[in-house]
Structure 1
């Protein structure tokens, strides 16, 4: 099994057996020397870790560095940010029409329609021509100013910074070190560790693309592919920043990020063992890479170094990640406006989410959340769009906001983007079963996140 067999074109993430070095994709004379590659691995990985996980105080605001940059664009260069956002949305709307992908299937048609509606709503907002019912401050103005603008700026910048975490060997080292625990805990092969981490810190679309490619190569069983697609392919760390900002949790960014990651993976370990996922076929014939002998730490080091030796074109690596971020932002921002407004209108003027929230109410009540019925209703809206719980509960108590943030990420599945992406793959998973998995994940996330939130508040980690 080679990296060419598994990875999508342009990807820089290799995957190899534990006891063999990664096959070179460049002639030996074009690879970086080992000392230079080691220095590159250390320096660039450190830059990525610092940019993503170390808060800095600038102008009395404490947050991670790239969030400072995006905030500067949105607040200090507002006109420029709006102009760039419209360029993104026009590209997002025009691309499926230009390449004809809008008529590929009914899902693409619906998503393209939502993108067009989202662009039209944005034009109506900036020209002050929208109906009064959607111009209330918690409707279209909130979606545009507090969600669409930050998403449009943060996702491309975040994708650029992610290049330092994904492109120089750190991810591969972590994947090898994770191999011994993947099968017993998550029921997936050890090699899926790279998929899991790439999906979490990268993007669900890239993660699903990799998972589908590996599944078609007969390296994942149906059950394993579904576990990875519905359990690890969550929104990226850049989107997590948007959720945390909306809910006022950036002051506790590291606690929010790491607890959400752990809770997401705990929930995945549980859903892998219960219906409907448990009932899917788990048979597959493949080379067993999980029982390789040798020094795992050394193998991780050599694989990380081999990846760094291949990373000879810094400009191309940065541009590839930035381009992916632009493409993702362009595709999702107009959808967020359209689907988000639909969800907000349904939440405010119809009983749709009230009824769905009643199913979650016992769990928000038993975990001692303030105003448990309102919390349940807000979290139920995440089925339509993962941002809606954050939008609907932004004024709630800090415990509710924390749990809503965790649920937004750990539920994984939502109709505005993730579910259509899964349907576009060859993974045999129906919409009804995805809805059941979504409900299981939300319930489990509440049952785990709420007690932890109580503990964090008691210990002063969250105030």
Structure 2
């Protein structure tokens, strides 16, 4: 602290200003809910909503350009042939482009145009993700580029490392996901991983354990399952269950076996306290950071690239998953794999619960749709598990695969299954206690 304060008028003075001012802008954009037009949410969400509301044709055109680029670029650059996963998703992105054109032109089978099919995918997911990721990428430059990551990392290192086996600065990812979105959190994770600040194992823990849907989407789930009367109980239960399961998963295969050369948390310098060291680390990063215009440009380009890969995948994978859930026994079969967990949890109708929760692999919102009229314990467990499972094919899995994190489709499916089973077992006792105590009615 002494070195920093003594150098306020010297070369470190501007760096300290950037650490404080730019980080404050990033925190405000990502983490401070404000009320506009009766809606309380973070400024990034307001910005994306404003574009959709007041410039919808522009938003649709922008998203369509991203989808077209994401579908065509892999074949132009040759990246489509890199591995089997890239081949499959390159074809699926082309299908996503075709489905987008079909939806906007009103062409195709009637079943595709049911409210829970293409309209849901494009209007509720694609438009939102397609705007909030590039806009969020600009704000991301303030959040992670000028020392806040380093400052936070030193402060919370004693908590994050022993419990979740990740550096202290991964707390930023966790908070960004719950108040923003999984796409923003994955954008942060990917950027930090490419900078060498996460090992492959740490990046995998964060991407599959923290990057879940936002609190805003949790409200939709709670409303659908008639749980808004117990919103605080639901929200905090979901938060606790998600992070408890993440701590367990960090110690299980396949994540535990991923490459991890060494913990990258720096020890405290002799004679310095944690807060003093945190400020020093933040100022040092702010001093070494690129200029703001360059940082904004780089972050925005990263955001566009990620959005272009995510959006066509959401359209294609999302529709295939929704059709499978509605018209095939696929998720009934998958339900048998989850039945041991729902039986041990002693839910009211364990087989019905297992089949509904299995559909969450396609789209996290499906269990809520399928269990709208179920018993209270099943509705509560479904509401929590649909969030704490983290991974689903319509959005988050394509998001993870679009990053540089070395996770395969097989890895993600195994992680989804274990996370879902653990989430059921951790949530069920909370549901029993809440019902018996009258907290959940």
Counterpart Cα distance in 1 of 2:47 and 2:260: 48
The partner residue of 2:368 within 380, 393, 410 is 393
Quote the residue 1:25 is aligned against: none
How far residue 404 of structure 1 moved from its aligned partner, in angstroms, is: 4.3
How far residue 80 of structure 1 moved from its aligned partner, in angstroms, is: 1.7
The answer as to 2:135 corresponding to 1:157 is yes
The answer as to 2:207 corresponding to 1:233 is yes
SS at match of 1:129: coil
How far residue 120 of structure 1 moved from its aligned partner, in angstroms, is: 0.3
Identify unmatched segments of 5+ residues in structure 1: 1-19, 22-27
SS at match of 1:147: helix
Q: Is the 8 A contact 1:200 1:233 kept in 2?
A: no
The answer as to 2:333 corresponding to 1:355 is yes
The answer as to 2:358 corresponding to 1:380 is yes
Quote the residue 1:438 is aligned against: 416
Counterpart Cα distance in 2 of 1:122 and 1:337: 7
Quote the residue 1:136 is aligned against: 114
The partner residue of 1:84 within 52, 62, 70 is 62
Q: Is the 8 A contact 1:354 1:377 kept in 2?
A: yes
Counterpart Cα distance in 1 of 2:144 and 2:322: 36
Call closer, same or farther: CA 1:287–1:327 in 2, change over 3 Å. closer
Quote the residue 2:398 is aligned against: 417
Counterpart Cα distance in 2 of 1:336 and 1:73: 20
SS at match of 1:393: helix
Quote the residue 2:247 is aligned against: 269
Call closer, same or farther: CA 1:337–1:51 in 2, change over 3 Å. same
Q: Is the 8 A contact 1:402 1:453 kept in 2?
A: no
Question: After superposition, where does 1:204-353 map in structure 2 within 5 Å?
Answer: 204=186, 207=189, 211=193, 225-226=200-201, 228-234=202-208, 240=214, 243-244=217-218, 247=221, 263-275=241-253, 280=257, 289-290=266-267, 293=270, 294-311=272-289, 313-353=291-331
Counterpart Cα distance in 1 of 2:121 and 2:393: 21
How far residue 435 of structure 1 moved from its aligned partner, in angstroms, is: 3.3
How many residue pairs get matched? Answer: 418
Call closer, same or farther: CA 1:321–1:415 in 2, change over 3 Å. closer
Q: Is the 8 A contact 2:137 2:299 kept in 1?
A: yes
Q: Is the 8 A contact 1:166 1:198 kept in 2?
A: no
Q: Is the 8 A contact 2:310 2:402 kept in 1?
A: no
Counterpart Cα distance in 2 of 1:46 and 1:457: 41
SS at match of 1:417: helix
Quote the residue 1:37 is aligned against: 15
How far residue 193 of structure 1 moved from its aligned partner, in angstroms, is: 3.6
Residue-by-residue CA offset, 1:341-399 (whole Å, 9 max, x unaligned):
00001101111111212333454566587876555434323445xxx022452575573
Quote the residue 1:94 is aligned against: 72
The answer as to 2:96 corresponding to 1:118 is yes
TM-score, normalised to structure 1's length? 0.74
Counterpart Cα distance in 1 of 2:299 and 2:428: 35
